[in-house]
Structure 1
């Protein structure tokens, strides 16, 4: 009788009817409970059906008859781990090892649980024992790679992933693991090759296709990246990240209509991304406005593992949202759309979206409109102890026409594409012919012309300081020291020159000693005049002791990737903490307003 039940259940399993197979065995539960093999069969089916608690019952029934059943012990360990009962799961694998010290599966699974428990050194020991017992155990190599990466040993992680690939050359997961590590290390060419090996084995693996597209994009191979991203989208047609990636690539390739189609598809899904708080429970929830067709405040490292939950929606010209949804979605709204020269229509749309909302708005879009380079130069003109070179916004055609008339600006000057940062598309020119060539190459791009000021220090080096304004705080972020006038931290020799790093660290620890009381007061005056909740300034100190301003905007980058400059990290974290505090204060202000309104409405007053 039980044999026919087994046969029926097996046939149903083979045809993919897992639930039906489970029902067949449960209908004979009393008979099944007396046979360990039957208990195991039912338990594994329940585990496959994502019913770990039920699976635990049947694995325990099997072990009640045969406590030394290694298969049942391993299955119980998996069920307990899936159910979140890590300590009991670990005990199962320890029992497996006790019964058979040569059981590589027990050592491997125990290592996985130890990693879940945060006992990483012990986890690595277990995995090494598993690999020593079975040098063909590729999953153990992959898990070891993941743990080593988490511990910051990227070299060890890559070595373990390479070993997994050698062991399991026909296993796509090994190649994808290696590719991800190569990609994170910035070795995009090697990552692409590893993705290709994995995709030969699993051609419709969504993450493989999507992440390969990201690696191709990072290598500026946008056309190939789009092909891979579109393939990923065919696998998961409603995946928001794939739609955003396709849209960004279409935009980069000049296919604006196709890009906007992708972005609109994402926008109508509502929340695009969610970032859970790193510390539970979350203190509050933030809603972030982001536009893929404009410049935005870099936010990833700013909010990573913060004290609040955050959701993101995207802003597109003409794309509306229900005001009741926006007011109810969060305790505070953070506008990230921050670059007036890239997508002013998106900023206006963001301003329209938040109009009339009761939720507090951080970096209100209307305030962003006045932060282009020309506007900032006008707004800061005449301020005590502040100097900002005159900046003029001009189209390339208008500049060429001016040059044709012989109307020459004063040289030397800096010319740059509007909307660019980081020194891209920016040159120092000293004659009309060079200026004309730059304008001709710019074609339809708008340009900025800025008077050049020699801001070299007495020692001949150029110093550019960055502060971040958060609420009413002025916080140092970095000092870049260079040999030439175009100074950007990533392109200097600071990584190799100890005295430069020492000077930066001294500035970060005591910026007021470097700038002095008058310059710090000038920075505070700039903060109040600009009026944003969160923004940055790149500046120097000129030969008269004034704050020489290069740019002021909400698009400046802060990040936590400070390899070789570890002294910067506490100051980045201070900015992050100030940002959280500022948001929390705005949430609290709203709560106080609501309490006051309620008191007015009920005719009560505080005692």
Structure 2
């Protein structure tokens, strides 16, 4: 077997050879494209990006250039630019399955499900057995709430190959990382924080893993199954798999399994300074007497109704009156819905504020304060980009949380963190006019995205980088425990 050092040396030798040939002339750009691909494989992302971009003027419709530059930018967090390149690749090469799959995947992650579905369907028409296209279609249909339609694609996409191996681009012996995931979704987006020049990562989809097959080589396990409402069965599978290893486990499945919305509302209710909403599970078959059931649980109207397993405000509505319940439920997917007491987080100015604090290795890091006039607050759809005053509130929270939250409120957050016991997760909360924290959500599914290049978000760069640095430190520290 070729060692990482030997493999890297071969790539460097090939790079030297290409650069000598390029010096003799490369009018077509093909040699320079090979060089850009090599730079990307070597982990020299900035050099690779510059090399690819320079070639756009020479070969603007070349499939490999458009696709590989898109893949590089996507990995660096420039998802919108990557999607533009994937569109160009599909426009010029509509019969290339890889281009269709990459564009579909980008759209699916952006929750543009209808267009994603079109591209995955086109890819499957070209190659019905494509594992990537079947997986993408399964995720897309599940995102639309059509679990029955997603199931056969999921079976075809994961049954024969329940793993995903990320290329390793380091020059020394790697840290072998095993990520436990679920084919149904609900995963922590941890891979964007894993440096592929340090970690050799294998993703194992636990719901399709053969329990008789040895686990992939690993020094560290990260359980990325974060949604206890969506993936309860997968978390049980993950517990059994993790029990077969002596490696450190980040976010043990047993801890994640009890972080469903209803579980959290019940077990965190006793924390001083925290108000958790009353909740009730509503099978569709019980909707005819749902109003009486909710009244018996102390849930008044308006109340909230949502489908389990969805986030960022999707399949989540406010129901003003009992007589509106049936119509609201008809718009939501799933056989069981969650009715949630509406907690009023409006300030004296009528605005709603939703705060997010990340929990990384048992420390708290402020991530954002979203300000909106709408009850359904999500940072990227709130009134932030066009409102300097709201951004100023966000900046004050993430740079001086101790000035925004009282000592008692910070103690309440610390008590929530301790009760949850997660290595990686987040808390979404509001504050009522009496100063109590209002629990919206607390689990492992929270996303930490790179900061957009727009200068309006410059103030966010250092605080968000601090969170990312904490994630990197968590991975490295736990991996070191696996070698001690």
Q: TM-score range by the shorter chain?
A: 0.7 to 0.9
Q: In 2, Cα distance between the equivalents of 1:272 and 1:177?
A: 19
Is the CA contact 2:86–2:103 (under 8 Å) kept in the aligned structure 1?
A: yes
| Residues 498 and 368 of structure 1, relative CA distance in 2, 3 Å threshold | same
Is the CA contact 2:29–2:58 (under 8 Å) kept in the aligned structure 1?
A: no
Q: Does 1:517 align with 2:407?
A: yes
Q: In 1, Cα distance between the equivalents of 2:140 and 2:270?
A: 43
Q: In 1, Cα distance between the equivalents of 2:85 and 2:246?
A: 50
Write out aligned runs for 1:318-329 (5 A).
Answer: 319-322=209-212, 325-326=214-215, 329=217
Tell me which of the two structures has the higher relative contact order, counting C-alpha pairs closer than 8 angstroms and 6 or more residues apart. Answer: 2
Q: In 1, Cα distance between the equivalents of 2:22 and 2:232?
A: 60
Give the C-alpha shift of residue 113 in structure 1. Answer: 6.1
> Residues 480-505 of structure 1: CA distance to partner in whole angstroms, max 9, x if unpaired?
11122211111122112222222212
Q: In 1, Cα distance between the equivalents of 2:469 and 2:477?
A: 12
Q: Does 1:498 align with 2:388?
A: yes
Q: In 2, Cα distance between the equivalents of 1:173 and 1:111?
A: 8
Give the C-alpha shift of residue 407 in structure 1. Answer: 5.3
Count of aligned pairs between the two proteins: 456
Question: 1:287 is matched with which residue?
Answer: 178
Is the helix fraction higher in 1 or 2? 1
Q: Does 1:316 align with 2:207?
A: yes
Q: In 1, Cα distance between the equivalents of 2:139 and 2:115?
A: 13
Write out aligned runs for 1:337-348 (5 A).
Answer: 337-348=225-236
Give unpaired runs (5+ residues) of structure 1: 1-79, 97-102, 119-142, 151-156, 593-607
Which residue, out of 562, 566, 571, partners 2:452? 562
Is the CA contact 2:134–2:157 (under 8 Å) kept in the aligned structure 1?
A: yes
Q: In 1, Cα distance between the equivalents of 2:104 and 2:320?
A: 42
Give the C-alpha shift of residue 382 in structure 1. Answer: 1.9
> Residues 413-458 of structure 1: CA distance to partner in whole angstroms, max 9, x if unpaired?
2222222211112222231112232134447432222222221223
Is the CA contact 1:386–1:549 (under 8 Å) kept in the aligned structure 2?
A: yes
Question: 1:207 is matched with which residue?
Answer: 98
Write out aligned runs for 1:384-423 (5 A).
Answer: 384-403=272-291, 409-423=299-313
Write out aligned runs for 1:209-224 (5 A).
Answer: 209-214=100-105, 218=112, 220-221=114-115, 224=118
Q: In 2, Cα distance between the equivalents of 1:360 and 1:566?
A: 36
Is the CA contact 2:189–2:447 (under 8 Å) kept in the aligned structure 1?
A: yes
Q: In 2, Cα distance between the equivalents of 1:378 and 1:224?
A: 42
Is the CA contact 1:247–1:262 (under 8 Å) kept in the aligned structure 2?
A: no
Question: 2:3 is matched with which residue?
Answer: none
| Residues 330 and 433 of structure 1, relative CA distance in 2, 3 Å threshold | same
Which residue, out of 439, 442, 457, partners 2:329? 439
Give the C-alpha shift of residue 91 in structure 1. Answer: 5.8
| Residues 149 and 82 of structure 1, relative CA distance in 2, 3 Å threshold | closer
> Residues 79-120 of structure 1: CA distance to partner in whole angstroms, max 9, x if unpaired?
x997636567646655x4xxxxxx7739996898699789xx
Question: 1:272 is matched with which residue?
Answer: 164
Write out aligned runs for 1:73-84 (5 A).
Answer: 84=13
Q: Does 1:349 align with 2:237?
A: yes
Q: In 1, Cα distance between the equivalents of 2:80 and 2:114?
A: 17
Question: 1:451 is matched with which residue?
Answer: 341
Q: In 1, Cα distance between the equivalents of 2:415 and 2:158?
A: 41
Structure showing greater radius of gyration is 1
Q: TM (normalized to structure 1)?
A: 0.65
Is the CA contact 1:385–1:518 (under 8 Å) kept in the aligned structure 2?
A: yes
Give the C-alpha shift of residue 175 in structure 1. Answer: 7.8
SS at match of 2:449: coil
